[in-house]
Amino acid sequence: MSYSKKVKSDFDLDYCKNSIKTFAGQKESMLETFKKGKVPGSKTYMRDIDNIECNGYRNKLWSWRPGELNLWTGYNNEGKSQALIFLCVLKAINENWKFAFFSPENYPPDEFFDDIIHTMLGKTTDKNHKSFNMTEREYLDAFERIKGNFFFVYPEDKEGRPDFSIENIEKIFEYLIFEENVKAVVVDPYLKIRHEMMPGEQEHLYASRFMMDRINFTRKQNVSYHLVMHQTTPRKNSDGNYPPPNSYAIKGGGTFADSADNCLIVWRPLRGTDPTSTLVTIKSDKIKKQKLVGMPHEIEIDFDRQKNRYVSLDGYDYFSGNSKLIVPEHYSEPKFKSNGLSDFDFPDDRYNKPNPF
């Protein structure tokens, strides 16, 4: 058997050359990064996430990093969305980040925005609630402070019917990134998107294609992308509680977790036996770039229903000591003044060991 040798004309030379990256071609960008340093994830302003001890080192559980796709999962009605919104509010107040939410389960938008004000002030906006004690001045001040930081995306067709294709959603995201300098986008939840699988396409192949498109959008727009997904229906353990959620029990299969940069889990461990329990576990189940973003770890915190806020188990309110809040009762110098890896350098010799990661 003989083979004819290919000649240059058999190749699309421009396509091949443009698709190959070399050391020589990347020299300038590599040198620039070497001089400036890689971009690390920035603070969440939740003390228990920003400051963990892992294998004898101070680190973070997770951090905000542009250009990364984050997957959030957990059981139904256990606080995945609430935790993510809480983190967004902290980031908006402390660094003026802007967020675009596709969150039809939080419709109408008035209630979504009211929940944000409730979290900001630690007071309910519902006049009929027994603990209501907010003044109109407080409400309007909070409204003015946060009105430019959150955008509620709800695509509709010409007849006013919901039109939730991911292409429509991301078209609006792209507009907000360009026009409003939005830093992070949220799709919550995946199940509410209108999915269009190819004829005969298997679910795991569709998942792979779907996630690759989201990653491409994330990298191109250089935003922090957040996708909220449900878990498969679990069976209770012998103690009456549900087992811990995990990235490979996501509805639709493990391909989603395999494709994401980071996977985070929100879980109420005692909900099965005590539906009123406010104990919450937050876990980073997967962190792809651990030197820049954080370490896989888990923490336990509590949820203060009256304030609509997460607090530490020792009662620390993550809004405490923040001078950028409207309500003056907690005014003082903010705990954190900068971003980046330097925030996690400690003078204690114990934590000045070379990081093995």
> What does the pLDDT read at residue 154?
98
> What does the pLDDT read at residue 57?
83
Residue 309 pairs in a beta bridge with 304
CATH of domain 38-341: 3.40.50.300
- Residue labelled with tokens 């940069």: 261
CA torsion sign for 63, 262, 102, 129 is negative
Paired sense of beta strands 224-230 and 184-187, if any:
parallel
Measure CA of the first residue to CA of the last residue in the chain; give whole Å.
52
Rounded to 10°, the helix 136-146/109-121 angle is 100
Taking the C-alpha atoms of residue 285 and residue 265, their distance in angstroms, rounded to an integer, is: 7
- The beta strands (E) that lie in 1-129 are given as 52-54, 57-59, 68-74, 99-102
> What does the pLDDT read at residue 344?
43
Paired sense of beta strands 52-54 and 57-59, if any:
antiparallel
pLDDT classification of 55: cutoffs 50, 70, 90 = confident
Taking the C-alpha atoms of residue 241 and residue 75, their distance in angstroms, rounded to an integer, is: 12
73 residue type, one letter: T
Q: What confidence tens digit (pLDDT) does each residue in 93-143 have?
A: 999 999 999 999 999 999 999 999 999 999 999 999 999 999 999 999 999
pLDDT exceeds 60 at position 357: no
pLDDT classification of 297: cutoffs 50, 70, 90 = very high
What the block records as the tokens of 33 is 């990064």
Taking the C-alpha atoms of residue 269 and residue 107, their distance in angstroms, rounded to an integer, is: 28
Query: Radius of gyration (Cα) for the chain, nearest Å?
Result: 23
Taking the C-alpha atoms of residue 77 and residue 43, their distance in angstroms, rounded to an integer, is: 26
pLDDT exceeds 80 at position 64: yes
Cis ω before 243 (30° cut-off from 0): no
SS3 186: strand
CA torsion sign for 347, 59, 95, 135 is negative
CB 51 within 8 A of CB 44: no
Could you tell me which residues come within 8 angstroms of residue 75 by beta carbon, excluding any fewer than 6 positions away?
230, 231, 234, 242, 245, 267, 268, 271
What the block records as the tokens of 330 is 């907690």
Average predicted confidence (pLDDT) for the chain: 89
> What does the pLDDT read at residue 13?
87
The mean-pLDDT minimum among 5-19, 71-85, 189-203, 220-234 falls in 5-19
Kindly state the DSSP code that residue 163 receives in the 8-state scheme: -
Average pLDDT over residues 168-179: 98
Taking the C-alpha atoms of residue 228 and residue 103, their distance in angstroms, rounded to an integer, is: 10
Instruction: Give the angle subtended at the CA of 256 by the CAs of 238 and 245, to the nearest 5°.
Output: 15
Backbone angles phi, psi at 262, to 5 degrees: -135, 145
> What does the pLDDT read at residue 325?
66
